[in-house]
Structure 1
Amino acid sequence: MAGKRKVHTAEFKLSAVKMITEQKLSVAEVARRLGISENLLHTWKKAHAHKGADAFPGSGHQTPQEEEIRKLRAEVKRLEMERDIPKKSGGVLRQPVELIFAWIEGRKSEWPIVLMCRVLGVSRSGFYAWRSREPSAADTRREQLIDEVKAIHAEVKGRYGSPRIHAELVARGQECCVNFVAELMREAGIAAKTKRKFRQTTDSNHAMPVAENVPARAFDPDQPNAVWVADITYIPTREGWLYLAAVEDLFSRRIVGWSMDQTMTSRLVVDALEMALHRRPTLLGSSRLTHSDRGSQYASEHYQRRLREERITCSMSGVGQCWDNAPMESFFASLKKELVHHEDYATRDQAKASIFEYIETFYNRVRRHSALGDVAPDEYERTYNRTHR
């Protein structure tokens, strides 16, 4: 039997390496004792250092039963991959063959190339020919845009979908259509953050007087500070609820006042109003108006007295008519979808700092608003002020 190649089991290899690592014997000494080459031992030691026991998956002699089990497991794995490839490929099967090749290239670490080509109905030789060719101008342009989309998506912390990503690309000098941007985002697995279920916070079950709905869903005043909308929402933290009251200028959709506290009282909404009044001391004569829901905080004498003192007309939504205050609902939905639902606030103070950053550094100054032609509230107001001096 001289010259027959020795086959060592995983257990043998692992035991040999442990003689070096645990018994502190030299490689030469272990090789001499086991009758194997030092080079082989060095190879096993290096593999073990990188992968541990997983470096030796088992290469010893197998019984017929063990060999049959191995073959069955391999077949099950192959069938599972054939099942999963179409699931993961989504709509790529209906795309040009170049996109299928690109999809295969991006997932070659997940499945064998030959298997993906067969399951997706493309030739392996065609795939390798596609991979070896020089990228076309269109391919280069596509990759550049995907990189730009990824950069924008990271800058806005995943808060933009394809319409706002498209607007940002155009603002940066990249000419493209919104449908193409949506396609690129799907291809790259980029999506905007999503929203969760709505929770009701309005308590309109009170005996205090309520006001008429003056705007009647007319949400487009032609000048700043003519109509403000106000509302309250809740923020979950591990310490309990944090309540946020906000005031929004309908003209520019800018949040001009806000207040946060652990209780939902009239003080909360009055503090938000006071901030708005401090920031916008010059209101427009007879047209100034503040609209809210019918909650007890807004119907309270505390809040109503401040409106009277500032000669601001009060308006309130109809019973159960959330659309009467749709712009503020939209702001809260964006806040939850783009920030709150993706955070786990340990304390109320932590939540306050996070929400402050969102409102003052992102929403008012950076975030593109569809109702404003995809510009930020600050920029919209600056443009108006430049043309109405």
Structure 2
Amino acid sequence: MPRPYPEEFRRDVVAVARKGESPLRQVARDFGISEGCLHNWLKAADIEDGARPPLTESESVELRELRKRNKQLEQENEILRRAAAFFARELPPKMIYPLVLDLAADGIPVAVTCRVLGFTTQAFYKWRKNPVSHRDWNDAHLIDVARDIHHDDPAFGYRFITDELAGRGIGAGENRVHRLCSQQRILSVFARRRGLHKAAGPPVHDDLVGRRFTAQAPNQVWLTDITEHRTGEGKLYLCAIKDCYSNRIVGYSINDRMTAALAVSALRNAIALRAPSGTIVHSDRGSQFRSRKFVNTLSANGLHGSMGRVGACGDNAAMESFFALLQRNVLDRNHWPTREQLRLAIITWIERTYHRRRRQRRLGRLTPIEYETLNQAPLAA
């Protein structure tokens, strides 16, 4: 315990400080004492000289309590101010623990911070001992893979992502994937829950067609879109690709899931049959056509993507007209008990009726197959 300063020394220091020739901080530094100690000596001297009334014992206790409470309120206010950014981001509790360390470095006790933020000091010290648990590592790995899967096909929700994870040899329960996807906002573009629906995303290509649905040669401009129809077993989806030169359907794919794989499969079928080069592939802004798989397939085969505006049916009117024909001639003609029955009906109508029997005035009353066959020799010349 330090020895008390001599009374004479205290009086001399007080006398020098009262002269006011130097600031109190400088006086305290010159005499080797703290500024707080000098303030206390001046206060005691004022009381002794009658310049300030002395405090009673109860007033001294009350003053100490008020000062303690004021300091505590200042600390709590600082904690809440610093934590506001964390709460706004809706982070899980573990992500707030680093804030406790930052506040402790600024002199705010850990116990006070934990009490204000609503968790125990035991939980904080357990996290400090092992900040990243094995479970956290696994969750982070799952989130990265889920992001890649969703980026490839934005239509995938947590159920499809769970299936894809199993296909990649990663075991994870559906509830766990749902929890992680909800935290990271990895949501299907078809989400209908309030606050989770996503608007149409930005285009990944410019509009290179501009509603000019004509071409001077085959494989110059292709149009593509997706349609759906109900059956007794559920919905069936068709993605078709039409050549603007002859209105021929150069590629299509049919499946019970409207994913990017459906659009990619139709595109690959068209490429295999036509072997195009530099073709413009025009679509709407559906997530399947904005997916990484579809864009990479276009780039890998030397094709150019094109996209219309959101909600503008006229930007892909030629493809919509084909689907309207399909609706009247096939989809609405019968009630389809199974997907397989509707699938065979669609394929039969496209290949037998639309391509080889249905004459079109724009083609000089020829069918798409006849139009391409008759103009193949002049084009080659």
Q: For this structure pair, what is the TM-score category when the shorter chain's length is used for normalisation?
A: 0.3 to 0.5
Q: If you compute each CA radius of gyration, which structure gives the higher value, 1 or 2?
A: 2
TM-score calculated relative to the size of structure 1? 0.46
TM-score (norm 2): 0.47
